Amino acid sequence: MSSERALLQALAELKANPEQSAAVAETRHCIVLAGPGSGKTKTLTTAMARVLAQDVVEPRGVACVTYNNECAIELETRLARLGVVPGDRAFIGTVHGFALSQVIGPYARCVPIGLPANFRVATRLEARAAVEVAYRNVINGTDNPHQRWEFASEKRKRDVDRSRPEWLRRNPELAAFIETYEAELRRQGLLDFDDMPLLAYRMIKENVWIREALRARFPVLFVDEYQDLGHALHELVLLLCFEGGIRLFAVGDADQSIYALAGANPELLESLTRRTDVRTIKLRFNYRSGGKIIRASLGALGEERDYRGVDGAPEGDLSFWEAPYGLDSQAQVIADTIIPKLIEQGFEPGQIAVLYRTAKLGNKVAVALKDADIPFVRTDTNALVKRSSRFARFIEECARWATGGWRDADPSYARLLSQAITLVFGRHASEREEQDLSAQLMAFLNASIETAETTNAWLQRLSRELITPWSDVARNSEQEWQVCDEMIANTDPACDLDLSLAHFAGRIEGAGRVNLSTLHSAKGREFDAVIMYGVNNTDFPSDRDKRTPAGLREARRLFYVGVTRPKKHLSLVFQEQHFSPWVLELYQRSQKQ
């Protein structure tokens, strides 16, 4: 299907929903408030494709900033169906990626920001060492420098504009700590991830010509998951869009703001909806969940919202499971009773998810499922493949190609080569560089077809044959070569962790692996059936949640995110007589018609 025809079809599909249709057609600043299952991504990607086709004349394009690489990958996949691919006319990536590739990289040599031409991103160890140097020089106390840095990091993310009085007025010692830390990084030709949007902001604010250059290239800025992106992105939006003339199209949901520790603040999104120069559109229909689950979700949130299901959709189902003892007992109930029962009812294992608050809890579920011989895949911080890492996803796709994908181009070699070029060189490489990289990649992949290697042996060969030569010529400042080392350690045969390459690639059991995920990692995803594990009165909310009203509100939003993931079925698992008080509210609300 041609890109023009695909766009026309997408526009026609949205006509049944007046809010979505109005958002896509809007030509002013627009904020789309999109609740769970409301078609947020479809609205955003269709709007991007329409703007590129109708509003923006080549060679100008659009930029789309989102929370993490996983969100960016999902947007790229959806946009490809509409004929939009990342390139000169479309930037799709994180706020850090935008700052680095569109501001710092092109203009750092033109303005004095203290970075050499060959700057790179600091490793975790380099950043920690710089913290220790700065602590000795500024504070020289007896406490843990990294614990003190947690407070400094919070200030650094919040006080983006250092020309404002509050930068020095609010805790000048922390301001000095931050500035000394950054000076130590610059001395070594380094910057860290938090540096990226902060430096980009300062460069744009102090150099109007950079702002004008960005507007010339990207007259429209799209922002996905605005509520998660924090103060640096918000200040960039105010600077680029409301002072610099770039049109803003942002989607978000303050009810799903669950990243306060990373600097997210739902008030930033809400502040935009109060502006008179912004049109706010609310998406009311939930296309994901049945009516009973929608009602239950509002009980989980504890607030009224004008969300409704689609006429004729099944109501969905809820079940509540009490375990006689603590978390181990609850994990056993999931493995021995709930999952087998769901499979008996016709749910595919790959469409069942077990959600929990921390990866440590995921370990308990993983042990129970392994003992019950139930295949699973983890997408938390203990996952073999980190969903937020583009390099990890590339490695997994190489495994898929080697274990059968080469037959039906799933994935295609062209896609793998394009990913490799981006990972090694950024967006652009010379013809010779592309040829050399392609020869290395093809030689490795051909040697992998029908290999008898286990995942660990295959990863070690990948490290030798690809990562070693690629790291010597790489120009991409956001390198993730250590991810392969982590995967090698996580498949160590000496610890009984190794697995077949086909299993690693998802070729064995296919969709037959139950999903294990933290609630944070599950955000933005959907499943036919969701099991929420550990919904106890000491965990939802926890004592830590109760310390501040803001902490309690965020915990409630996290609970809400979990409840809104299922399409058809939700199970809540807790200790007998010790369920979360929010479970009762959820149950009572679900019973209303």
Count of beta carbons in the 10 Å neighbourhood of residue 311: 7
- Mean pLDDT along residues 131-140: 95
Q: What pLDDT, on a 0 to 100 scale, did the predictor assign at position 478?
A: 63
Domain boundaries, the chain: 1-105+199-283, 120-188, 291-375+511-591, 390-505
Contacts 24+ apart (CB under 8 A), 70-79: 70/387, 70/388, 70/524, 71/224, 71/225, 71/524, 72/97, 73/390, 73/393, 74/41, 74/524, 75/41, 75/44, 75/45, 75/224, 78/41, 78/42, 78/45, 79/45, 79/48, 79/49
pLDDT tens, 464-514? 999 999 988 888 766 688 889 988 988 888 988 888 888 788 654 444 789
pLDDT band for position 320 (cuts 50, 70, 90): very high
Residue with tokens 């990607």: 45
Is the confidence at residue 123, as pLDDT, over 50? yes
C-alpha 309/C-alpha 79 separation (Å) is 26
C-alpha 93/C-alpha 108 separation (Å) is 20
pLDDT tens, 325-382? 999 999 999 999 999 999 999 999 989 999 999 999 999 999 999 899 898 888 887 7
C-alpha 391/C-alpha 434 separation (Å) is 18
Is the confidence at residue 524, as pLDDT, over 50? yes
Is the confidence at residue 88, as pLDDT, over 80? no
pLDDT band for position 390 (cuts 50, 70, 90): confident
Is the confidence at residue 312, as pLDDT, over 80? no
Greatest alpha-carbon span in the chain: 67
DSSP conformation class of 512: -
Is the confidence at residue 593, as pLDDT, over 70? no
Q: What percent of the chain has pLDDT over 70?
A: 97
Alpha helices in 426-467 (DSSP H): 431-448, 455-462
Single out the residue of 231, 526, 533, 585 nearest to residue 351, CA to CA: 526
C-alpha 377/C-alpha 522 separation (Å) is 13
pLDDT tens, 53-67? 999 998 899 999 998
Q: What pLDDT, on a 0 to 100 scale, did the predictor assign at position 509?
A: 40
Element (H, E) at 425: helix 413-425
Phi and psi (nearest 5°) for 519? -65, -35
C-alpha 149/C-alpha 284 separation (Å) is 42
Q: 291-375+511-591: CATH homologous superfamily?
A: P-loop containing nucleotide triphosphate hydrolases (3.40.50.300)
Single out the residue of 235, 232, 269, 267 nearest to residue 250, CA to CA: 269
Is the confidence at residue 220, as pLDDT, over 60? yes
AA letter at 437: L
DSSP conformation class of 277: T
Phi and psi (nearest 5°) for 116? -75, 170
In order, the DSSP letters of 219-245 are SEEEESSGGGSHHHHHHHHIIIIIIT-
Domain 1-105+199-283 in CATH 3.40.50.970:
no
Is the confidence at residue 592, as pLDDT, over 90? no
Q: What pLDDT, on a 0 to 100 scale, did the predictor assign at position 534?
A: 95
Q: What pLDDT, on a 0 to 100 scale, did the predictor assign at position 78?
A: 86
pLDDT band for position 32 (cuts 50, 70, 90): very high
C-alpha 300/C-alpha 318 separation (Å) is 13
Q: What pLDDT, on a 0 to 100 scale, did the predictor assign at position 70?
A: 78
Least confident of 202-216, 470-484, 563-577: 470-484
- Mean pLDDT along residues 182-201: 94
| Domains 1-105+199-283 and 291-375+511-591 are alike in CATH topology | yes
Element (H, E) at 560: helix 549-563
**What is the SS3 assignment for 371?**
helix
C-alpha distance from residue 541 to each of 301, 326, 357, 547 (Å)? 13, 16, 11, 10
Return the C-alpha torsion angle 175, 180, 182, 186, nearest 10.
150
Count of beta carbons in the 10 Å neighbourhood of residue 444: 17
C-alpha 122/C-alpha 124 separation (Å) is 6
Annotated binding site for ATP: 34-41
Least confident of 191-205, 336-350, 365-379, 432-446: 365-379
Beta strand 190-191 with 220-223: parallel, antiparallel or unpaired?
Answer: unpaired
pTM value is: 0.84
C-alpha 498/C-alpha 463 separation (Å) is 16
Annotated binding site: 34-41
Alpha helices in 26-171 (DSSP H): 40-50, 69-80, 95-98, 105-107, 124-138, 145-158, 166-169
pLDDT tens, 251-307? 999 999 988 887 888 999 999 999 999 999 999 999 999 889 999 998 888 888 888
pLDDT band for position 430 (cuts 50, 70, 90): confident
* Average per-residue pLDDT for the chain: 90
- Mean pLDDT along residues 572-577: 94
Handedness of CA 35, 40, 44, 46 (dihedral sign): negative
DSSP conformation class of 261: G
Q: What pLDDT, on a 0 to 100 scale, did the predictor assign at position 440?
A: 95
